[in-house]
């Protein structure tokens, strides 16, 4: 559906991947890499769904300056994220943290997979029951032939089995 493209995108393109602008970079390459990683998971709040790594808006510039400053000052990634959330709210993070509201978000895939597994196992169980009937049928047959095998069967499945046999 990428049919049509927007003026919004243009703003982005004019100033593509602004964060790697040499004028802004930190001299320590390891610190710069850390700052870049943080940029990529920080939302540019005034742009449409872009990270501050991509955006050239004024806000993104300021945020990059602040984050680079904090990285240079030796603050940890966690502390910087906390600072951003305190200032702008959870919205600023592209990778939401595990909070009460976000449980559903992180849980959804596992929920879906779990549901699938449960459904599959339940299906298998009913299949097993059907398969088991054949052996019970044998027992029933044995019973009809005069053996005592019927006693060893659980009563409920015995009834099912009887019903199943009548059906056949």
Partner 1 sequence: MTAELGQFALVLALCLSLAQAALSFAGRARNDRGLAGAGQGAALAAFLAVAIAFGCLIHAFMTSDFSVSNVAANSHTEKPLIYKIAGAWGSHEGSILLWCFILTAYGALLACSRGLPSGLKALTVAVQGSLGTLFIGYMVFASDPLLRLANPPVEGRSLNPLLQDPALAAHPPFLYAGYVGFSVVFSLAVAALIEGRVDSAWARWVRPWTLAAWSLLTVGITLGAFWAYYELGWGGWWFWDPVENASLMPWLAGTALLHSAVVTEKRGALAAWTAFLGLCAFTLSMLGAFLVRSGVLTSVHAFAIDEKRGVLLLCILALAAGGGFGLFAWRAPRLKDQSVFAPVSRESALVVNNIILSAVTTTVLTGTLWPLVLLAFGKQGGVGAPYFNLVVGVLMTLAFLILPVAPFLAWKRGDALGALRRLSFAAAAAFGVGLLVLLLTSPRKGLAALSVAVGAWLAAGAVTEMLVRVRAFQAPWPEVGRRLSGLPRGTWGMSLAHLGLGVFAMGAAFETAWRVESAEVLTAGGGLSLGAYHLTLDGVSEAPGPNYDAERGVISVVDRSGHPVCTARPERRTYDTGGQTTTQVAICPKALDDIYIVLGERRIAPGGGSSWLVRAYWNRWAHLLLLGPLLMAIGGALSLSDRRLRLAPGRRRTPAAVLAPAE
List contacts with partner 1 (CB under 8 A): 1-10, 12-17, 20-23, 40-41, 43, 48-51, 54, 89-91, 94-96, 101, 104-106, 108-113, 116-117, 120, 123-124, 127, 130-131
**Residue 42: which of 6, 24, 16, 68 has the closest Cα?**
68
Side-chain half-sphere exposure of 120, counting CA atoms within 13 A:
6
For partner 1, which is the closer residue by CB, 138 or 151?
Answer: 138
What's the min distance (Å) between Cβ of 48 and partner 1? 5
What's the min distance (Å) between Cβ of 146 and partner 1? 31
What's the rounded Cα separation, in Å, for the pair 31 and 45? 24
Give Cα separations from 167 to 147, 161, 162 (angstroms): 23, 10, 9
What's the min distance (Å) between Cβ of 80 and partner 1? 15
For partner 1, which is the closer residue by CB, 51 or 70?
Answer: 51
What's the min distance (Å) between Cβ of 19 and partner 1? 9
Kindly report the length of the chain: 168
């Amino acid at each position: 559906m990428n049919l049509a493209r927007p003026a919004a995108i243009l703003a982005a393109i004019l100033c593509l991947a602004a964060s790697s602008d040499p004028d802004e970079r930190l001299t320590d390459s390891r610190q710069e890499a850390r700052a870049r990683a943080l940029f990529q998971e920080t939302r540019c709040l005034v742009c449409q769904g872009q990270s501050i790594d991509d955006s050239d808006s004024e806000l993104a510039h300021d945020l990059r300056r602040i984050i680079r400053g904090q990285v240079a000052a030796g603050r940890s990634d966690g502390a910087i994220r906390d600072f951003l959330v305190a200032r702008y709210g959870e919205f600023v993070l592209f990778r939401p943290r595990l909070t009460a509201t976000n449980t559903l978000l992180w849980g959804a895939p596992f929920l879906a997979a779990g549901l699938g597994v449960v459904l599959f196992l339940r299906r298998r169980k009913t299949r097993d029951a059907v398969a088991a009937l054949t052996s019970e049928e044998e027992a029933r047959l044995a019973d009809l032939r005069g053996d005592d095998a019927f006693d060893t069967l659980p009563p409920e499945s015995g009834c099912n089995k009887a019903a199943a046999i009548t059906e056949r």
